[in-house]
Amino acid sequence: METRRIIENVRKSGRTFLTEVESKELLAVRGIPVVSCRVARDEEETVRMAHECGFPVVLKVNSPYIIHKSEHKGVFLNLGGEQSVREAFRSIRRNCAAVDPEASVTVQPMIKKGVEVLIGVIADRQFGPVVAFGLGGVFTEVLKDVVFRMAPVSTEEAEKMVYQIRGNRLLRGYRGYPAVDTLSLQKIITGISQLAVEVEDIEEMDLNPVVVFPRGAMVLDARIKLC
């Protein structure tokens, strides 16, 4: 019911793209771990939430009219104190004013440690939902190290996906870095694939990055598009 409510609210507003906040809410409803994400509508509220969140923090523009936040210079990472948060808030408002002068921001903790991966879905008209998995962050465009499976993806197939990418050594531990929790990662892959099968409204999902830790995994950013 909650999944349907979120989708219907987006449709009522005449949109096909969910905001990051809506996307994370939908994922959380399905039991997929996401980083905490709070919405602030003015500078003082942003500063207060940053203090409550604990520094360093991340600020991102939050607007139904801005899909690609980085293209509008609407993302500021690793903000270590109140002054940097104030400056980032003002910059986001200034950079995004032409598109949405009333845009709010999200305040999130800065997650530093872990291996970044991507998990995506695209609904193929002939074959149905196709799930993608690969290295995330800066590696996405550079290495193009991605594997694909038809949804739904079983636990066994999710495990094969994880170890099929060329960069799987980063997940197994490499040059002093610990191995990460691939079981938690596999659960996210299977959960996303099941979501894509059960909710036919979804045309695309882009979870990048998903950070995998020695214990646990978490979605840091998400974008969902409806048919």
Residue 177: its pLDDT value, please?
82
- 140 three-state secondary structure: helix
Q: How far apart are alpha carbons 66 and 31 in whole angstroms?
A: 26
CA distances from 82 to 37, 45, 61, 161 (A): 18, 12, 18, 42
Indicate the domain borders of the chain. 38-109, 112-226
Q: Is 158 a residue whose pLDDT tops 70?
A: yes
CA distances from 42 to 25, 45, 46, 55 (A): 22, 5, 6, 19
What average pLDDT does range 25-34 have in this prediction? 98
Class of domain 112-226: alpha beta
Classify domain 38-109 at the CATH topology level. Dna Ligase; domain 1 (3.30.1490)
Residues 128-141 have pLDDT tens digits of 999 999 998 655 65
Task: Report percent pLDDT > 90 for the chain.
Answer: 89
Q: How confident is the model at residue 175 (pLDDT cuts 50, 70, 90)?
A: confident
DSSP 8-state secondary structure symbol assigned to residue 10: H
Q: Is 184 a residue whose pLDDT tops 60?
A: yes
CA distances from 123 to 43, 101, 118, 132, 204 (A): 39, 33, 17, 11, 6
What average pLDDT does range 141-146 have in this prediction? 71
